[in-house]
Amino acid sequence: MPEGPELHLASHFVNEACRELVFGGCVEKSPVSRNPEVPFESSAYHIAALARGKELRLTLSPLPGAQPPRGPLALVFRFGMTGSFQLVPSDALPPHAHLRFYTAPPGPRLALCFVDIRRFGHWDLGGKWQPGRGPCVLLEYEQFRENVLRNLADKAFDRPICEALLDQRFFNGIGNYLRAEILYRLRIPPFEKARTVLEALQQRRPSPELTLSQKIRAKLQNPDLLELCHSVPKEVVQLGGKGYGPESTEEDFAAFQAWLQCYGTPGMSSLRDRQGRTIWFQGDPGPLAPKGGKSRKKKSKGAQRGPEDQVENPPPPNKAPSRTRRARRGLPEQTAAQQPEGTSLQWDPEAPRVPEKGKRRRQPATSGRRRPQKIKADTPSLEPEETSAS
């Protein structure tokens, strides 16, 4: 799922790929998309992108003398689970290209496409960032830090720190893999109370006797949680490529996987938080860990994927046995990716939530044979299934 770094890498891609291109004509929306039409037409215009947290603004700017005369138009994108931008020949559009911007003649006709396999992505007209989102952890670090420390009385910080880190009102750009990496580096239990972790930072003041270079060195050697919320996403951006997303090439994904220290790596444990999202960690989960939650350790190879790790690139349909036949053979059930619910910024709106399991009424047996017990699937693997663009 694209997080803050992936949105910033996408903005870099658009700006680099479209720097010398002139676009023209109407903006084309796929008929299956439920997003709004884009009422823009110009004989010649440029496209530029800017990312902020988990949003990306695309600005269409008509060139002087372009017809019909009109002003610029801006759109703000949220990528959902599988959103990305691709620049392709106009006669080779990728599947799920739900918004298309075509280049003007002369020259080969190209199309900049917003591609979204699962259609959870969204765009809004007008160019305004979504209300309620906090400052960007990458581009607005000082404002981000002040916003968190000023609002520690908010009930969001009564929750475990792993859940608070997904609250986009305060941690705009942080998602599932980033929260695991940040907490792991500081050895903070994921289910420690958020306020307990963050209140200590209000008292953190560098000694006035230190020189500026000494203060900088101390900060680099001993970063706190909010500083890592800024520096860890920067590391992903510096890796280049597409980051952790549906368009990652094998080379990009290999570099990203080598960078990971905690998320989905062998030897790490995992639990589901209250929203059904898997948090990876090492050691004690903390005092607010869900009661009855069973911690699982990541196996080195051969583990099945879980809902959180399948959603970016769902595997192609296979001819696996049906649920009933799998149960008879004693095979593990296959899990399906869950649909996201709601759009509250408190719970990372692009993230899928796993609903609670309801009780299912058992049918009376007719054959007299006992139904075999179902075997739970292993913990999810991070190994890529399909990393090329689709």
- Do you know the residue count of the chain? 390
The residue-averaged pLDDT of 42-49 equals: 98
Strand order in the sheet with 97-102: 28-29, 97-102, 110-116, 83-89
> Which region holds residue 348: left if phi is over 0, alpha if psi is between -120 and 50, else beta?
left
Q: Which residue has the higher pLDDT, 350 or 126?
A: 126
Q: Which residue has the higher pLDDT, 323 or 133?
A: 133
> The tokens 């050691």 sit on which residue?
283
- The CA distance from 96 to 114, in Å, is 8
pLDDT of residue 306 exceeding 80: no
Q: Is 294 a catalytic residue?
A: no
- Out of 5, 6, 29, 54, which one is annotated catalytic? 54
**Per-residue confidence at 248, pLDDT binned at 50, 70, 90?**
low
Q: What is the pLDDT of residue 261?
A: 97
What's the distance, Cα to Cα, between the start and end of the chain in Å? Answer: 15
Residue 163: Cβ within 10 Å count: 24
Q: Which residue has the higher pLDDT, 341 or 30?
A: 30
The residue-averaged pLDDT of 229-234 equals: 98
Q: What is the pLDDT of residue 312?
A: 35
Backbone angles phi, psi at 8, to 5 degrees: -70, -40
- 145-183 residue pLDDT tens: 999 999 999 999 999 999 999 999 999 999 999 999 999
Whether 333 contacts 323, CB under 8 Å: yes
Beta bridge partners of 99: 29, 114
- Residues of the chain with pLDDT > 70: what percent? 70
Strand order in the sheet with 278-281: 278-281, 269-272, 296-297
- 56-101 residue pLDDT tens: 999 999 999 999 999 999 999 999 999 999 999 999 999 999 999 9
Q: What is the pLDDT of residue 218?
A: 56
pLDDT of residue 33 exceeding 80: yes
- The CA distance from 75 to 77, in Å, is 6
DSSP letter at 135 equals -
Residue 264's identity, in one-letter code, is G
**Per-residue confidence at 240, pLDDT binned at 50, 70, 90?**
confident
- With 0-12 / 13-18 / 19 or more C-beta atoms within 10 angstroms meaning exposed / middle / buried, residue 388 is exposed
pLDDT of residue 104 exceeding 80: yes
Q: Which residue has the higher pLDDT, 53 or 202?
A: 53
Highest mean pLDDT among 202-216, 242-256, 337-351: 242-256
- Residues of the chain with pLDDT > 90: what percent? 64
The residue-averaged pLDDT of 188-194 equals: 98
Residue 106: Cβ within 10 Å count: 7
Residue 384's alpha-carbon distances to 256, 289, 354, in angstroms, are: 11, 29, 22
3-state helix, strand, coil in the chain (%, to 5): 25, 20, 55
Mean pLDDT, the chain, integer: 81
Residue 277's identity, in one-letter code, is R
Which has the minimum average pLDDT: 80-94, 128-142, 211-225, 283-297?
Answer: 211-225
Token pair of 95 as six digits: 């599947």
Q: What is the pLDDT of residue 207?
A: 56
Q: Is 352 a catalytic residue?
A: no
pLDDT of residue 388 exceeding 50: no
- The CA distance from 189 to 193, in Å, is 9
Q: What is the pLDDT of residue 353?
A: 54
pLDDT of residue 18 exceeding 90: yes
- 253-301 residue pLDDT tens: 899 999 999 999 999 999 999 999 999 999 999 999 998 777 777 766 5
Which residues are within 8 A (CB) of 310 and not within 5 positions of it... i.e. 6 or more apart?
335, 337, 380
Q: Is 160 a catalytic residue?
A: no
**Per-residue confidence at 204, pLDDT binned at 50, 70, 90?**
low
Q: What is the pLDDT of residue 357?
A: 53
